[in-house]
């Protein structure tokens, strides 16, 4: 905790104004890694910052953040398109006893961007303005699952697609019972 001192006059000389400004001292102390907590406050009610605790990480002097934040107001974050990788395919056996790689179902569609023609296509074979839905239904039981690209996929790359899984049971007379199976499909993996 050594601070940069102002230059002092030699003994017996008249006291003169310092040649180094306080701004230069603050810059030198910051370069040396010295932080001053005496004047800093944060939070509501205001608390003094200490070397051990200086509050949430936000802009200094703005405990409630910026007055006019520039962020996505009521908009979904547009995620990048991600091609299928080798770990996205599953090795499955067909009815004839042969083995082959099976693509994931339902297809992993990026629903955060507008609908466009597939890569390399000159004309859109499905000229619609909304993304296709893929039903997973057997008799009166239906599972609703729309894969979403996770923001920070930790671990294996094949686990970056997830989303809630809902079970819909259709009853006679047009009634149905909806149940949330899980909030994260990755929890259903063995």
Under 8 Å between Cβ of 112 and 79? yes
Burial (CB < 10 A; 0-12, 13-18, 19+), residue 76, is exposed
Task: Give the chain's end-to-end CA distance (angstroms, integer).
Answer: 54
Say if residue 143's pLDDT is above 90: yes
Q: What is the CB neighbour count within 10 angstroms for residue 174? A: 6
Q: What are phi and psi of 76, to 5 degrees?
A: -85, 135
Reported pTM: 0.54
What is the average pLDDT score of the chain?
A: 76
d(CA 62, CA 68): 12
Q: What are phi and psi of 27, to 5 degrees?
A: -65, -40
Please indicate whether residue 173 or residue 9 has the higher confidence score (pLDDT): 173
Quote the pLDDT of residue 5.
53
Q: What percent of the chain has pLDDT over 70?
A: 63
What are 58's two structure tokens?
């936000």
Under 8 Å between Cβ of 65 and 59? yes
SS3 167: strand
In this prediction, residue 149 has a pLDDT band, given cuts at 50, 70 and 90, of: confident
Please indicate whether residue 104 or residue 186 has the higher confidence score (pLDDT): 104
Tens of pLDDT, residues 25-41 = 556 655 555 555 556 67
68 φ/ψ sector (left φ>0, alpha ψ -120 to 50, else beta)? beta
- Give the DSSP letter string of 121-162: -SS-SS--SS-----EEETTEEEEE--EE-SS--SSGGGSEE
């Amino acid at each position: 905790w050594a601070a940069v001192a102002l230059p002092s006059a030699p003994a017996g000389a008249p006291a003169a104004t310092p040649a180094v400004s306080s701004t230069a001292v603050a810059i030198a102390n910051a370069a040396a890694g010295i932080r001053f907590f005496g004047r800093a406050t944060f939070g509501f009610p205001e608390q003094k910052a200490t070397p051990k605790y200086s509050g949430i990480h936000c802009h200094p002097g703005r405990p409630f953040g910026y007055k006019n934040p520039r962020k996505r107001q009521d908009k979904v974050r547009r995620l990048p398109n991600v091609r299928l990788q080798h770990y996205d395919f599953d090795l499955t056996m067909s009815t004839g006893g042969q083995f082959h790689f099976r693509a994931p179902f339902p297809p992993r569609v990026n629903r955060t961007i507008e609908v466009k023609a597939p890569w390399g296509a000159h004309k859109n074979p499905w000229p619609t303005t909304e993304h296709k839905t893929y039903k997973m239904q057997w008799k009166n039981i239906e599972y609703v699952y729309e894969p979403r690209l996770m923001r920070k996929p930790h671990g294996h790359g094949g686990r970056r697609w997830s989303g809630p899984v809902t079970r819909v049971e259709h009853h006679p007379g047009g009634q149905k019972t909806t149940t949330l199976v899980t909030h994260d499909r990755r929890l259903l993996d063995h």
